[in-house]
Each structure stands twice: as C-alpha cells, then as structure tokens.
C-alpha cells in the first residue's frame, strides 16, 4: 500500500490496542504502543532510501528483505527496544505484540497489491503479488480517516477500529470474489491463456490484465466482466545472442528482469551500436507502456548508458539515458 495508508493503519492499530487491558490501564504503555504501531507500520518500507542510490538497486530490493519473514520478526524487537530507552516503564511484552501486529499487517496487505513482496523469504525469493487491492485504495483510506475523526470526537477508539477492520476484512473477500470473476471472464475471452496477471486500478470495476498463451502475449482491460483486448504480441523467447547476453549484464536490465513477470523485448541497430529495450506489459496507460529497461551499447558491445523505471514519453527517456551517459 502507499505511505499514507500505512500511516493511518498504524494509527488504527494504536487505537485498536486500547482494547488491551494492559494498555487501557497504563497511559505510558498506551503512548509507547501508539508510537510503536506508527513506526512498525512504516518500517518495512524503510528500504525506500535505496532510491537515492539508483532505480536498479531500488527495484531489485524494494519490498524484498525488509518484508521477509526474518524482518517481520526483527523489526518489532528493534523498534520496541528503541522505544524502551525513552519509556522504560512501558510493558515491553504488550509493546512488542502490538508493534509486531503493525509490521505484520504492513507486509500482509502489501501481498494483495499487484507489485507484491518477497514475503516468504528466505524460503523463496518469489514475488507474492495477489493483485486484488490497488496500491492506494480510497475506501480503505477513508474508512481509517473516518475512524480517526470519530476517535478525535470522543468515540471509543478500540471498538470503532474493531468495527472498521471487520468491514475491511469483508471488503477484501469481496475484492477476491470480483477478481475471480474477472479471471473467469478472461479465460472465456482468451481460451488459450496459460497465465493471467490481473492488476487492480483505483476504479473498483476496472482491471489491467496481461495474459500469456503458448504463442502470444495479450494486454487487456476489464470493465466489470467485459474483457477488451487492447494489444497482442507474438511471444518470442529471448535468444542467447551476443548483444542480448551483454545487455543482460547491465544492472538496470538485470533489476528489471528480476521484477517483471511478463514483458516483450526489441533491439534497434543504431548508426553506432545497438539499443536493447525490454517493456513490461502489465502497466499499459493510454496506449503507452511506461515501465521499461533500456540499454545502449557500442558496436563492440560495451554498454554506454542504461535506464530502468517509469517513463511516460520518449523525450523523457532520452533525457534519462543522456544523464546516465554523462
């Protein structure tokens, strides 16, 4: 989920914690738990600082080890121990339990996005992306805002957020049901499908769809259960040519390939050298595919510049490649 949603979820968990008698009867523990829940709800995304290095490092590692099973166990210990330095009278066990819940819920809800996480590391580095909830869901966010307003006006925070989270659980089941209907509709529309990747949008009834068959890629859109095929590409395996093998050694393209499950590729021969482009098919936007990896190299296959990330125009891409070249 987005940062704002994780923030209000942290506050919501802090509110829910007031139902715990050990917290309700101890103002110091209640305050430290609220701080722990807020920090815990953000902690797995601390790896966002990797973006300061470059996109390749960020794409390869974001929602990786910081969302793994060991991290989910370690974050609450680190956060709770740090808070205890300032609130030594706090009930450490209850602080740890509610901080752990905040960290766990952060990772758990991220699994339901199309981006996903490596939540089952170290057992597998596979990305778990269920594609049920958009990375920003107005319904979930506004429910939390409403609950915080009620808390501010004097409503019991524990029971308020217990009700809100009950509604959200039902909402998740409904979204799963809707996604299954879409997948069924895709199978009827494209019987040759062997893999279907569904990505939710901010619009409840609209979904982005990428489909693999044995011979083709299909890019489609679902409006309810009405499936519109927008693009179709021949599924051409990436050959082991000197140009492509050299391009794969580039960190930007390597990061792209570690993250993207469905893409097409193309090579353009320039006056001097080559340009290799890999295009993720999951994120079609107004006829454009904004998530790409591009590698430029000389005739001798020495890489001169590269880029991976989101670009919404060819001019912007050229500027980024020029910056990389500098």
Residue 55 has pLDDT above 80, yes or no: no
Give the pLDDT mean for 210-227. 95
Give the pLDDT mean for 165-192. 97
Question: What pTM does this model have?
Answer: 0.88
pLDDT tier at 12, thresholds 50, 70, 90? very high
pLDDT tier at 133, thresholds 50, 70, 90? very high
pLDDT attached to residue 90: 94
pLDDT tier at 160, thresholds 50, 70, 90? very high
pLDDT tier at 323, thresholds 50, 70, 90? low
pLDDT tier at 47, thresholds 50, 70, 90? confident
pLDDT attached to residue 214: 93
Domain coordinates of the chain in residue numbers? 3-173, 175-234, 242-325
Residue 86 has pLDDT above 90, yes or no: yes
Residue 175 has pLDDT above 60, yes or no: yes
pLDDT attached to residue 324: 55
Residue 25 has pLDDT above 60, yes or no: yes
Dump pLDDT digits (tens) for 255-270. Answer: 899 888 899 999 998 8
Least Cα distance to 205 among 182, 172, 189 occurs for: 182
Residue 235 has pLDDT above 70, yes or no: yes
pLDDT attached to residue 15: 97
Laid out side by side, the sheet with 226-234 consists of: 195-200, 206-212, 216-223, 226-234
pLDDT attached to residue 56: 77
CA–CA separation, 153 and 305 (whole Å) = 56
- Calculate what percentage of the chain has a pLDDT beyond 70: 98
pLDDT tier at 318, thresholds 50, 70, 90? confident
Dump pLDDT digits (tens) for 267-293. Answer: 998 888 899 999 999 989 888 899 999
What architecture (CATH level 2) is domain 175-234? Roll (3.10)
Mean pLDDT estimate for the chain: 91
pLDDT attached to residue 325: 56
Give the pLDDT mean for 54-83. 87
Residue 50 has pLDDT above 90, yes or no: no
pLDDT attached to residue 315: 81
Give the pLDDT mean for 15-28. 95
């Amino acid at each position: 989920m987005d940062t704002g949603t994780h923030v209000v979820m942290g506050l919501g968990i802090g509110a829910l914690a007031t139902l715990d008698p050990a917290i309700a009867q101890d103002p110091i523990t209640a305050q430290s738990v609220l701080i722990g829940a807020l920090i815990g709800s953000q902690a797995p995304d601390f790896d966002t600082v990797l973006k300061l290095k470059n996109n390749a490092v960020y794409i390869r590692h974001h929602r990786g080890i910081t969302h793994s099973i060991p991290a989910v166990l370690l974050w609450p210990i680190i956060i709770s121990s740090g808070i205890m330095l300032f609130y030594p009278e706090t009930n450490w066990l209850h602080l740890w339990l509610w901080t752990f819940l905040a960290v766990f819920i952060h990772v758990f809800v991220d699994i339901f996005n199309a981006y996903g996480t490596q939540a089952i590391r170290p057992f597998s580095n596979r990305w778990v992306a269920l594609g049920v909830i958009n990375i920003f869901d107005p319904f979930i966010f506004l429910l939390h805002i409403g609950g915080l307003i009620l808390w501010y006006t004097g409503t019991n925070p524990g029971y308020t957020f217990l009700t809100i989270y009950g509604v959200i659980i039902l909402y998740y089941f409904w979204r799963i049901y809707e996604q299954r209907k879409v997948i069924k509709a895709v199978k009827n529309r494209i019987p040759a499908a062997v893999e279907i990747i569904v990505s939710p949008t901010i619009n409840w009834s609209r979904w982005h769809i990428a489909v693999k068959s044995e011979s083709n890629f299909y890019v489609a859109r679902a409006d309810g259960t009405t499936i519109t095929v927008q693009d179709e590409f021949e599924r051409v395996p990436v050959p082991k040519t000197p140009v492509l093998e050299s391009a794969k050694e580039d960190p930007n393209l390597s990061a792209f390939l570690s993250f993207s499950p469905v893409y097409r590729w193309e090579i353009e021969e320039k006056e001097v050298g080559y340009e290799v482009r890999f295009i993720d098919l999951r994120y079609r936007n107004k006829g454009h595919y904004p998530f790409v990896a591009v590698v430029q190299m000389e005739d001798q296959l020495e890489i001169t510049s590269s880029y991976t990330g989101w670009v919404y125009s060819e001019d912007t891409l050229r500027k980024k490649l020029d910056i990389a070249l500098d």
